Structure 1
């Protein structure tokens, strides 16, 4: 009778519970890291240039991505700076400002685990048009 009580326990049951626990722990830690990297900014600042391109990209995860042409000296090729935004209203305003000189306020979020949130670590927060900023 004692043998039948021991025989009814499956020996691999603790192993499956351990495996489920490890998977759940990995998912929770991944979620916490994603939340932390998106809510905490590494740096913030401003850049000014001509908004050269703004688009919505992605196969599954659609993100708003932009290019700001930074001109240091006239006649020299500009440096292209890439940024993203997650704000729908800001995306509409930026889309309407393509080709104009703007001053963009951004925050940098390092360590985002996937490009489903953005393709760059730089997130546009707001912008102001700079007078006389039409690209010719």
Structure 2
């Protein structure tokens, strides 16, 4: 008579293991979806035009390319920016970084992708510049 309760315990044990493994897999799947959404999903993309003020290669353990552009919104008659906003961005591609390194002090248009979060090996900002669309030469008039 002892063998019947042992079977019940083994069935209950298998059912409990199946429930726990299903919950564990759902948690892992949920974490994977969250990680993808937070760090790899492109929230928005577009172009920004402005004066490339600063571009550097920095970091302690992971060196990343970081840039800063001044986006002018209101200009005076003498083409002087009266109101401006700064656009901070990161660059993951070394070829694009080399182009931007040579364009400091010039007005450029860059294409960016905005992520929901920044990964420390990819840059400090959620804005990742992936190409320089056009370069406008400063014309002294």
- Regarding TM over 0.5, the answer is yes
State the match for 2:9 in structure 1: 7
2:118 corresponds to 1:115: yes
Structure 2: runs of 5+ lacking an equivalent: none
3-state SS of 1:8 partner: helix
Does the 8 Å CA contact 2:39/2:118 hold for their aligned counterparts? no
Question: Please, which runs of 5 or more residues in structure 1 have no aligned partner?
Answer: none
Q: What is the number of residues matched between the two proteins?
A: 128
CA contact (8 A) 1:106 1:122 kept: no
Higher alpha-carbon Rg: 2
The 1:42–1:75 alpha-carbon spacing in structure 2 relative to 1, beyond 3 Å, is closer
8 A contact 1:104–1:128 mirrored in 2: yes
Structure 2 residue aligned with 1:64: 65
Change (3 A) 1:43 1:76: same
TM-score (norm: length of structure 1): 0.67
Q: How many Å apart are 1:76 and its aligned residue? A: 4.1
Q: 1:60 to 1:2 in 2, by over 3 A?
A: farther
Aligned alpha-carbon RMSD (Å): 3.3
* Residue 42 (structure 2) pairs with residue 33 (structure 1): no
